[in-house]
């Protein structure tokens, strides 16, 4: 098999959400696992609603998730290709001019509904003579252009859904070009997929019907069509679809909330597949778990709490090298010993700041400490150098001297040393705090 070429084709009319990220990641991991290429294609033919700012934002979002596109293309720079394809379709008799207004089409649909017929365009425009068309244009009407579908069943083997088909006879001939000359999404997408040699079109299952139409256009223009895979869509926890316009779970907001990109990527890819959802530390490893044929057919629920849990689990296993630069960027003074001591207590990376502050001090002294007990404990505190054995050796002596054990023994020490009742293991924290500060805090 030749290496796959895939594309992720967002319209830059908003920022991408976790469901869009799922599409991008499934494409990327599918291609990269097989040594293929990933194209980022901006579907920005809608010049009014698309912005450069959204486009750049989407690039930032997918880069953050670990996706490095091999090519970036913008449909707004490729109109000449679409015009050329439209002309070829016209010459082949597969793209025809229609003059009905929206109102006229609506009336046709109502008449069909009254007779219990499906609301399929009746192809009246195909019967127009050149004189009739000229007369309509003289009235000031501008044509919109429909693709003439072959009335047949279009079948394909879907990478996710298996054998699939669309009955073209139940569809209206799709409008490819509006009366104002602008392109709908359908044709430019096919033209670019052909031009870029796209081998696999992996997208959400909301595009299944488009596939019936697009396979016909692919075959008309190039004699063949790529493979298709339609993955299930993500919903929120109550089962509602995600909206880019409403900013649901945008990747930008998850990044700003200090989420780990691999936690987001792991959930976006594994939710709604037969793989157990877990925090996968690298894209290579995640790619090894992607199997389009094992995605669920049912919509998958995206649950924020699940993401929080994955995020924490991922942090708890990350090595220092993986976070050193980001800790520095957050202004958190950290070395490997610090990281290994605190990572198990973090929900978000930035939470490490709290522990850096506690290690560095000063800390707020808790009220109601047992001064007598702490004085005894202080008298047994060994001198530095300290290591991970120090805590155990010290507290054993305090235990013998005071007869305390368990919580009675440890909680006052933890409170005095950190100011808090919970936190990282003290055998790791104590050497970081150091003798000088420890003595002050116990005194
Ligand atoms: N711009 C389309 C979308 O965002 C692309 C669909 C496709 O992948 O073909 O839905």
3-state secondary structure 27-67: HHHHHHHCCCEEEEEECCCCCCCCCHHHHHHHHHHHHHCCC
In angstroms, the CA 323 to CA 339 distance is 9
- What's the confidence (pLDDT) of residue 245? 66
Cβ–ligand 1 contact at 203 (below 6 Å): yes
Looking at the CA of residue 202, tell me the nearest atom of ligand 1. 8
Residue from 7, 8, 10, 228 to probe ligand 1 pocket by mutation (most atoms less than 8 Å from CB): 10
Q: Residue 23: is it exposed, middle or buried by C-beta count within 10 angstroms (0-12/13-18/19+)?
A: buried
Looking at the CA of residue 10, tell me the nearest atom of ligand 1. 4
Q: For 25-65, how does the pLDDT look when each residue is reduced to its tens digit (9 = 90+)? A: 999 999 999 999 999 999 999 999 999 999 999 999 999 99
Q: For 247-281, how does the pLDDT look when each residue is reduced to its tens digit (9 = 90+)? A: 678 999 999 999 999 999 999 999 988 888 899 99
CA of 192 from ligand 1 middle (Å) equals 12
User: Which domains are assigned to the chain?
Assistant: 1-88+154-161+185-317 (3.40.50.620), 89-153+162-177 (3.90.800.10), 320-360 (no CATH), 371-442 (1.10.10.350)
- What's the confidence (pLDDT) of residue 246? 67
Q: For 10-22, how does the pLDDT look when each residue is reduced to its tens digit (9 = 90+)? A: 999 999 999 999 9
Q: What CA dihedral angle connects 395, 397, 399 and 400, to 10 degrees?
A: 170
Q: Are 317 and 340 in contact (CB under 8 A)?
A: no
Cβ–ligand 1 contact at 9 (below 6 Å): yes
């Amino acid at each position: 098999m030749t290496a796959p070429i895939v594309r992720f084709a967002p319209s830059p009319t908003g920022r991408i959400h976790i469901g869009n990220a799922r599409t991008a990641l499934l494409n990327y991991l599918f291609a990269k696992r097989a040594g293929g290429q990933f194209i980022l294609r901006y579907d920005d033919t809608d010049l009014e609603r698309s912005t450069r700012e959204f486009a750049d934002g989407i690039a930032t979002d997918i880069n953050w998730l670990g996706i490095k596109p091999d090519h970036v293309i913008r449909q707004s720079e490729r109109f000449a290709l679409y015009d050329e394809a439209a002309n070829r379709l016209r010459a082949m008799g597969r793209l025809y001019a229609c003059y009905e207004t929206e109102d006229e089409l609506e009336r046709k649909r109502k008449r069909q509904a009254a007779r219990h017929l499906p609301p399929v365009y009746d192809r009246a425009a195909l019967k127009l003579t050149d004189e009739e068309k000229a007369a309509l244009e003289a009235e000031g009407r501008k044509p919109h252009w429909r693709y003439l579908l072959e009335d047949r069943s279009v079948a394909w083997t879907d990478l996710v859904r298996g054998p699939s088909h669309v009955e073209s006879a139940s569809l209206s001939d799709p409008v490819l070009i509006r009366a104002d000359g602008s392109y709908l999404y359908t044709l430019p997408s096919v033209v670019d997929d052909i031009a870029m040699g796209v081998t696999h079109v992996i997208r959400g299952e909301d595009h299944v019907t488009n596939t019936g139409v697009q396979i016909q256009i692919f075959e008309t223009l190039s004699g063949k069509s790529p493979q298709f895979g339609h993955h299930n869509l993500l919903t929120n926890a109550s089962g509602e679809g995600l909206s880019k316009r409403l900013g649901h779970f945008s990747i930008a907001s998850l990044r700003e909330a200090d989420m780990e990109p691999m936690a987001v990527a792991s959930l976006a890819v594994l939710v709604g597949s037969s793989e157990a959802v877990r925090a996968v530390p690298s894209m290579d490893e995640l790619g090894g778990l992607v199997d389009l044929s094992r995605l669920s057919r049912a919509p998958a629920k995206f649950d924020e709490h699940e993401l929080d849990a994955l995020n924490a689990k991922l942090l708890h296993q990350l090595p220092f090298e993986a976070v050193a630069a980001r800790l520095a960027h957050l202004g958190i003074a950290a070395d490997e010993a610090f990281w290994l001591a605190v990572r198990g207590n973090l929900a978000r990376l930035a939470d490490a700041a709290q522990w850096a502050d506690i290690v560095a001090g000063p800390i707020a002294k808790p009220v109601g400490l047992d001064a007598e007990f702490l004085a005894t404990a202080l008298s047994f505190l060994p001198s530095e150098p300290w290591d991970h054995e120090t805590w155990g050796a010290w507290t054993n002596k305090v235990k013998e001297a005071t007869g305390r054990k368990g919580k009675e023994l440890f909680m006052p020490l933890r409170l005095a040393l950190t100011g808090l009742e919970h936190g990282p293991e003290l055998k790791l924290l104590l050497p970081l705090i150091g003798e000088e500060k420890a003595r002050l805090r116990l005194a």
